[in-house]
Chains A and B, each alone.
Chain A
Amino acid sequence: MAAAEETAFGRTHVEEKKKIPRRYWATTAEQKDGEGKNGALQKEDSTKKIREAWWKKKLEKKKKKKAKKSVLEKKDPFPGQAPIPVERVKKFVRGDVDKVTSGVQGKLKKILKRSQAVSTLAQEQAARHDLLLPEDAGFLEGDEDEDTCTIAQDDIADAVDITSGAKYFNLNLSQFGPYRLDYSRAGRHLLLGGRRGHVSCIEWQSKALISEINVMEAVNDVKWLHNEAMFAVAQKKWLYVYDSKGVELHCIRKFNDVLRMEFLPYHFLLATASSSGFLQYLDVSVGKEVTAIGTKMGRLGVMTQNPHNAVIHLGHPNGTVSLWSPNQKEALVKMLCHRGAVRSLTVDKTGMYMVTSGLDRKLKVYDLRAFKPLQSYFLPAGAACLSLSQRGLLCASMGDVVQVYRDVWGTSVKKPYMAHRVRGAVAGLAFCPFEDVLGVGHAEGFTSMIVPGAGEANFDGMALNPYASLRQRQEWEVKTLLEKVQPDLIGLDPSMLGTVDRATWQQKHQERVQALGFDPLAHEKFKPRRRKKGRSSSGAVEKRKRKVAHEDQRDVIRHTVAANLSKEQERKKRSKAKLKAGVERCALKRFQK
């Protein structure tokens, strides 16, 4: 019976046609017998069958692989997957493998190989799906003999479609003085803070005013928090938090005389720089101050963040730029950038380049990986405000003129890409994320400029979606809160978390000692027990001490002797082997008896 079943199962897909179809009556009689005899065995049989089938399937798979295809079979002209361009794959490269896997064996090799295979797969897939980001950045192209910087904003607005043209507009707000501004991370909302207390939230694309208040105090800086529901305003004395309707939520008295603010979105930290020289971090998610660092560098009026590693850059009157993390009370890096005071600085999206401008009327581009200057430009007027767009366009303001430069770090630029004159002295500059728009806050209000090629054309809907619905925004808030990064992880190299702590044992040990308050591994000195009946006389105690000391010494000696012996033996063995080899090599050895 079993044999019959086997043959039945052994039939392959292909063979089925050729064979004479088996009939159940060929087996029914036997089957009946089988049923009659052992009904209990049926289940076992079935499992056995399944197992056999499983085995056969395996074997068949192997066979199929081996089987040659017939010559006349239609061949796939493009076998396998479509090739991906190398450049695109390079974009997603993670780590170097070849160094690691050389000279490794066994289990480790397997693990490494597997991880490598997976990462290459991930890389490849990511490159493949890069196709789904088809949007291209715009650019401005002048006619022959025409400089792009001579093209006026009005002309651009006329030339482009209506919706894009509507992105060039002026807000005439002459009453409340020079304006600071901030775009929300998705780029939908604009926050304006006038020096004389005027604060307003605008959905700038539809130009819908969400709220407008006057805080009746000097406003130093305004900043959106993690979403459009809240923003922080650095006022004359304290730091305030308002919601988008303009209702005051918090007055944070710990943060006083704040001049500039930066919000670190992944850490939910609001970093503030005050006129008293304090750099403070506020955890927005729990409302607690994380650290307050006294920089001892005087008034901190220039500040920016490195979006790559969440390090705060501060510009100082003595021409230095210092880099700060909340984990260290001293600056991570201090660099001397200008002869005069630093007026403004900005860091690009990738965290590779920093652009600074100083009172010495210079504009310098630094490579933040090597802390070396790349380019140095001389601006006749000197740049008061700087800002870098997502695509790496630099805008600099000189008085009431805003200039946009393209590719400042690549080659030395001779002329601006675009230029525009606004009505008043510029106080704040910001590129709108995911839009080709530059917002300029000045003494006479606010100007929104069209800068083709400024914004990232392909946004990641999972990370920042400009078109998110209310529900999506809510979901996003919860998700980002769950994925909040601890301030501990802020450092110059954000990939440090993925490295093994290679600090020396001593350093680790020191930390341990500091934490414990004592040294757990310190060698304890022998203290002889106090004995009675006159046995603890100084002589006896000394004797006992000697004994212990001798014992310790003996241990050491024993160890050394053993080590020496083994060494000697090994040496002898080696010499013997040598000798033997020498004897064997001797030609007369065969005559010896």
Chain B
Amino acid sequence: MAKMAKPRKAKRTKSAAKKLSKRAAVVSAMEEEEEEELTLGDENIISASEDEGASDDERKHIKLLEAISCLGGKKRKKLTERSEASTQVSEFSVNAEGEGEKVKLSDLLGKMEKTPKNLNKTKKQLKDLEKKSDTLELPLSRQEKEKIQREVAYVKTSTEVSRWESVVTQNRNAEQLVFPLIQEPSGPKRIEQVVSGWKAQTPLEQEIFSLLHCNLQPTHDPVLTPVEEASLKAMSLEEAKIRRAELQKARALQSYYEAKAKRERKIKSKKYHKVQSKAKRKEFLKKFEDLCKTDPQAALEEFKKMELLRMEERMSLKHQNSGKWAKSKVIMGKYDLVARKAMQEQLEMNKDLTQKLVVPSEDEEQEQEEPKALPDFVNDPEPVGDPANPWMRGQLSAEALGPEVSHEVERPTEQFPERKEEEEEEEPENEEEALLREFEQKRRLRQSEDKGFEPVVSEEQEDPVDEAENREAEEELSEKGEKDDEDGLAEFKNLFNRLVEPVILETGEEQGDEGLEEGLVRIHSLDDTELLANDHEASLVEPVPSDTSNMEASACPPSKNSKKVKVIDPSEVLTKQAKVIKVPHAPMMVEDEEDLDEQTTIIKEAFAGDDVVSDFLKDKRKLEEDSMPKVVDLTLPGWGEWGGVGLKPSRFKRRKFRIKPAPLPPRKDQKLPAVIISEKRNAALAAHQVCQLPFPFTKPEQFERTICSPVGNTWNTHNVMRKLTAPKVVTQMGAIIEPIAKDDFIKDKNPSKPQPNLQLTKDSSLAKTAPPGHKRRKK
């Protein structure tokens, strides 16, 4: 058998190999175009050479003879010989020089000398090809080619598609699918997410955008603008401190001045005001003159201001006796000297104002001068932009000081408005008092620095690891010892850490204690849970139902309670029975064996006529018999059985034609003598029952199991009910549900080449190198 099988196998393998080679050829044709071109070229060349080779035998012979003749003498120049008639005759063909020689394939590669390695290789290949005298195979028929192509395409596409499998199965198995599949992350979005698709369209928007751009206002993470950052960099700590002190002083001065001004304004005496204004005017003029000498620029500005006032005065009719008051004064002026005076004063004022060199009026002057006492920025409103950064409040060029310092500065600014109000309410004080207060404030500030920092720092230092890091950093800092302030800060930090550590430790201990205490109550085993249940019951009985009572309950033995609740203890009952029972009404007895006889006699007396039990048993037997399947007797009388009395079909025949039905399953009431249970099926209910198992289920129990837990809210808590009735697919209203994108779900973007293709290429290479004899023999 084995021997016989061998050749057959070989044949099969050959044919398989051939097939493979064919396929391989096609595949290779598909896969590698370059190679294909090359091989096609080779084939052409080979065929050409073969055609030539067949006709040149004679010429070869002649050449050989010539060569032999040349052997003896010197190398003579070979005479070109015209052997072929055609070359002479033909007008169209052109004669090449080395026509007689056979052209080698490798000669064609003469121009490719630049790449010597490849050249050698290809030369070798070509030589191999030349050696092959085998005929070329017929190209595959179109159908076969297409078949193979289809196969390859199938493999390709199947690999492509199979990459989706996990996604598909996942989606299929998902309890709920929410479309669109990729949801935008909930919560606050970054500005650029919102803005990315949106473009400023209206001129207002564009303006705002351009403004933001030119200020380099950060759209997200708006801590500091670059300008601010630069300004922060420009200032050191010392400078900042000095600046702060300046600011403080300025503010104090301002408030003081304000108070003073307010007080003065409230003075009703006209004389006082007149004197004041005169003095001021004089002073002002004096100053102006001084200014003209010292600082002509400032003087010029001042002058400009005055000029502006003058212009305004000239434009208005304020002091020209055209107002209501002035008109009344004109009428009164005839008789009243005071009124006339006032009128004149007015006119004089007008004159003064409209003159080239004017003195500003009392009120206006005050308004003007007030701001002068302070630098402008003090009164500027705080920019709303960033409340967190105190440095943004004054338009100072300040340096970054780190968070602590910034907080330091924050405090006083917070306190300021209050103080202002206080001062407004208070009576004006003299300078000494103001100074005193200033000092006090400084002291307070320092205190607040000492105290108020704890929460800030504690926020930063959450865990000891960070602390350690901080300490290291501080050490480094101290080593460097660059600035006193920094050192001070480090010291302060150290101090603080020392303060904080014990607190942390304490809290940790507390926690540990708590854990231990709670650990005692923890439940580990089933018994414990039972205990807990008992506790629960106990707590229910107790007037105070609370979780804390659980612990106390667990301390006391729980078994008492649980047993008390249970059924009556027979032994107890028995002992009680021994005592006299004081049942006020008709007593009751439990049936005993001894009493049975009496009872039966009584019953027998009572129901002598009807025997209930036997009737019932009879009924039951009858029912059973009715329900039993009946034997069908199909015997017919045959020969010798037709006529006569008392003739019966033979026993053999009767047995043969009696059909015994299959016995029914045992009745439900088989072992219950006093019960008849109907065996009828409930056909009405069957209409509502599931009579065929749905697809994946193989056993009815499995299906029953899945539908046995109720769904409605009568039997479930609300949350569970909602979970049970959750829809399989949820779609967002108005959202576009796009097909699944490949990039989102298939992670590897450049998969390795599919395996089957590689195999095929291997096969093709095998086919190429296969010995030539094979195929021919087969054909």
Interface residue ranges of A111-147 to B (CB < 8 Å): 111-112, 114-116, 118-119, 121-123, 125-126, 128-129, 134, 136, 145, 147
B570 touches A411 (CB 8 A): yes
Give bound CA distance, A100 to B697, whole Å. Answer: 11
Interface residue ranges of B265-318 to A (CB < 8 Å): none
Q: Tell me the minimal C-beta distance from B315 to chain A in angstroms.
A: 48
Given A95-B705, A134-B540, A502-B700, 17 more A-B residue pairs with CB atoms under 8 Å apart are A8-B190, A42-B197, A70-B463, A108-B697, A110-B173, A121-B723, A122-B724, A123-B709, A128-B717, A147-B581, A325-B682, A336-B674, A379-B586, A462-B713, A498-B708, A500-B703, A503-B691
Point out the residue from B518, B585, B709 that lies within 8 Å of A78, measured CB to CB: B518
Q: Answer whether A327 and B684 are a contact pair too, CB < 8 Å, given A86-B526, A320-B616, A403-B588.
A: yes
Tell me whether B192 is interfacial, beta carbon within 8 Å.
yes
Chain A to chain B contacts (Cβ below 8 Å), 19 pairs: A8-B190, A42-B197, A97-B705, A108-B698, A115-B705, A122-B720, A134-B540, A333-B676, A334-B676, A335-B676, A339-B603, A340-B612, A360-B606, A398-B586, A403-B586, A411-B568, A498-B708, A500-B693, A500-B700
B 499-531 to A, binary, CB cutoff 8 A, 1 in contact else 0: 000000000000100110011001100100110
Q: Whose C-beta in chain B lies nearest to the C-beta of A86?
A: B529
Tell me whether B430 is interfacial, beta carbon within 8 Å.
no
Tell me whether A198 is interfacial, beta carbon within 8 Å.
no
B residues near A (Cβ < 8 Å) are 173, 175, 182-185, 190, 192-193, 196-197, 199, 213, 216, 218-221, 223, 226, 463-465, 511, 514-515, 518-519, 522-523, 526, 529-530, 532-533, 536, 540-541, 545, 567-568, 570, 573, 576-577, 579, 581-591, 595, 599, 603, 606-607, 610, 612-613, 615-616, 619, 669, 672, 674-678, 680-691, 693, 696-710, 713-717, 719-720, 723-724, 741, 743-744
Tell me whether A15 is interfacial, beta carbon within 8 Å.
no
B221 touches A410 (CB 8 A): no
Point out the residue from B589, B691, B741 that lies within 8 Å of A51, measured CB to CB: B741
CB-CB < 8 A to A340: which residues of B?
603, 606-607, 612
Point out the residue from A28, A100, A488 that lies within 8 Å of B688, measured CB to CB: A488
Interface residue ranges of A1-32 to B (CB < 8 Å): 8, 21-25, 28
B612 touches A339 (CB 8 A): yes
Q: Whose C-beta in chain B lies nearest to the C-beta of A16?
A: B221
Point out the residue from B583, B587, B603, B616 that lies within 8 Å of A318, measured CB to CB: B616
Q: Whose C-beta in chain A lies nearest to the C-beta of B704?
A: A499
Q: Whose C-beta in chain A lies nearest to the C-beta of B712?
A: A483
Tell me whether A254 is interfacial, beta carbon within 8 Å.
no
B591 touches A488 (CB 8 A): no
CB-CB < 8 A to B723: which residues of A?
118, 121
Max count, chain A CB within 10 A of own CB: residue among B522, B540, B612, B684: B612
CB-CB < 8 A to B591: which residues of A?
362, 376-378
B196 touches A83 (CB 8 A): no
Point out the residue from B523, B579, B709 that lies within 8 Å of A118, measured CB to CB: B709
Point out the residue from A95, A147, A362 that lies within 8 Å of B709, measured CB to CB: A95
Q: Whose C-beta in chain A lies nearest to the C-beta of B537?
A: A136
Q: Tell me the minimal C-beta distance from A328 to chain B in angstroms.
A: 6
A54 touches B676 (CB 8 A): no
B744 touches A122 (CB 8 A): no
Give bound CA distance, A399 to B586, whole Å. Answer: 10
Give bound CA distance, A527 to B105, whole Å. Answer: 84
Interface residue ranges of A393-440 to B (CB < 8 Å): 398-399, 401, 403, 406-407, 410-416, 419-421
Give bound CA distance, A403 to B689, whole Å. Answer: 44
Q: Answer whether A95 and B589 are a contact pair too, CB < 8 Å, given A108-B696, A328-B678, A500-B691.
A: no
B182 touches A51 (CB 8 A): yes
Tell me whether A473 is interfacial, beta carbon within 8 Å.
no
Q: Whose C-beta in chain B lies nearest to the C-beta of A111?
A: B696
CB-CB < 8 A to A413: which residues of B?
568, 588, 590
A147 touches B582 (CB 8 A): yes
A380 touches B684 (CB 8 A): no
Q: Answer whether A46 and B196 are a contact pair too, CB < 8 Å, given A22-B221, A99-B701, A115-B706.
A: yes
Interface-facing stretch out of A179-187, A489-497, A562-570: A489-497
B702 touches A112 (CB 8 A): yes
Give bound CA distance, A208 to B543, whole Å. Answer: 34
Point out the residue from B581, B678, B703 that lies within 8 Å of A333, measured CB to CB: B678
Give bound CA distance, A115 to B704, whole Å. Answer: 11
B700 touches A107 (CB 8 A): no
CB-CB < 8 A to B197: which residues of A?
42-43, 46
CB-CB < 8 A to A84: which residues of B?
529
Tell me whether A551 is interfacial, beta carbon within 8 Å.
no
In the A-B complex, the 8 residue pairs with the smallest Cβ-Cβ separation, listed nearest first, are A85-B533, A119-B709, A500-B700, A501-B689, A336-B674, A327-B684, A488-B684, A401-B585
B689 touches A25 (CB 8 A): no
A499 touches B182 (CB 8 A): no
Give bound CA distance, A557 to B183, whole Å. Answer: 65
Q: Answer whether A85 and B529 are a contact pair too, CB < 8 Å, given A111-B696, A318-B612, A381-B586.
A: yes
B463 touches A21 (CB 8 A): no
CB-CB < 8 A to B515: which residues of A?
75, 77
Tell me whether A331 is interfacial, beta carbon within 8 Å.
yes
CB-CB < 8 A to B567: which residues of A?
407, 410-411
CB-CB < 8 A to A119: which residues of B?
708-709
Give bound CA distance, A39 to B741, whole Å. Answer: 22
Tell me whether A522 is interfacial, beta carbon within 8 Å.
no
CB-CB < 8 A to B693: which residues of A?
500
B743 touches A100 (CB 8 A): no
Q: Answer whether A115 and B688 are a contact pair too, CB < 8 Å, given A77-B519, A491-B682.
A: no
Give bound CA distance, A108 to B706, whole Å. Answer: 11
Tell me whether A548 is interfacial, beta carbon within 8 Å.
no
Give bound CA distance, A46 to B190, whole Å. Answer: 12
Q: Tell me the minimal C-beta distance from B116 to chain A in angstroms.
A: 44
Q: Tell me the minimal C-beta distance from A12 to chain B in angstroms.
A: 13
Give bound CA distance, A83 to B535, whole Å. Answer: 13
Give bound CA distance, A390 to B483, whole Å. Answer: 86
A83 touches B687 (CB 8 A): no
CB-CB < 8 A to A403: which residues of B?
585-586, 588
Point out the residue from B587, B677, B701 that lies within 8 Å of A380, measured CB to CB: B587
B518 touches A77 (CB 8 A): yes
Q: Answer whether A24 and B532 are a contact pair too, CB < 8 Å, given A49-B193, A147-B582, A500-B693.
A: no
Q: Whose C-beta in chain A lies nearest to the C-beta of B703?
A: A500
CB-CB < 8 A to B714: which residues of A?
462-463
CB-CB < 8 A to A112: which residues of B?
702, 705-706
Q: Whose C-beta in chain A lies nearest to the C-beta of B535?
A: A85
Q: Tell me the minimal C-beta distance from B672 to chain A in angstroms.
A: 6
CB-CB < 8 A to A94: which residues of B?
708-710
A 138-165 to B, binary, CB cutoff 8 A, 1 in contact else 0: 0000000101011000000000000000
Q: Tell me the minimal C-beta distance from B173 to chain A in angstroms.
A: 6
Give bound CA distance, A106 to B697, whole Å. Answer: 11
Q: Tell me the minimal C-beta distance from B536 to chain A in angstroms.
A: 7
B744 touches A497 (CB 8 A): no
Tell me whether A72 is interfacial, beta carbon within 8 Å.
yes
B582 touches A150 (CB 8 A): yes
Q: Answer whether A121 and B720 are a contact pair too, CB < 8 Å, given A23-B221, A74-B511.
A: yes
CB-CB < 8 A to A53: which residues of B?
185
CB-CB < 8 A to A360: which residues of B?
599, 603, 606
CB-CB < 8 A to A421: which residues of B?
584-585
Tell me whether A245 is interfacial, beta carbon within 8 Å.
no
Point out the residue from B533, B603, B706 that lies within 8 Å of A87, measured CB to CB: B533
CB-CB < 8 A to B573: which residues of A?
411, 414
B705 touches A507 (CB 8 A): no
A318 touches B615 (CB 8 A): yes
Q: Whose C-beta in chain B lies nearest to the C-beta of A338?
A: B612
Tell me whether A545 is interfacial, beta carbon within 8 Å.
no
CB-CB < 8 A to A398: which residues of B?
585-586
Q: Tell me the minimal C-beta distance from A358 to chain B in angstroms.
A: 10
CB-CB < 8 A to B619: which residues of A?
334
A499 touches B529 (CB 8 A): no
Tell me whether A478 is interfacial, beta carbon within 8 Å.
no
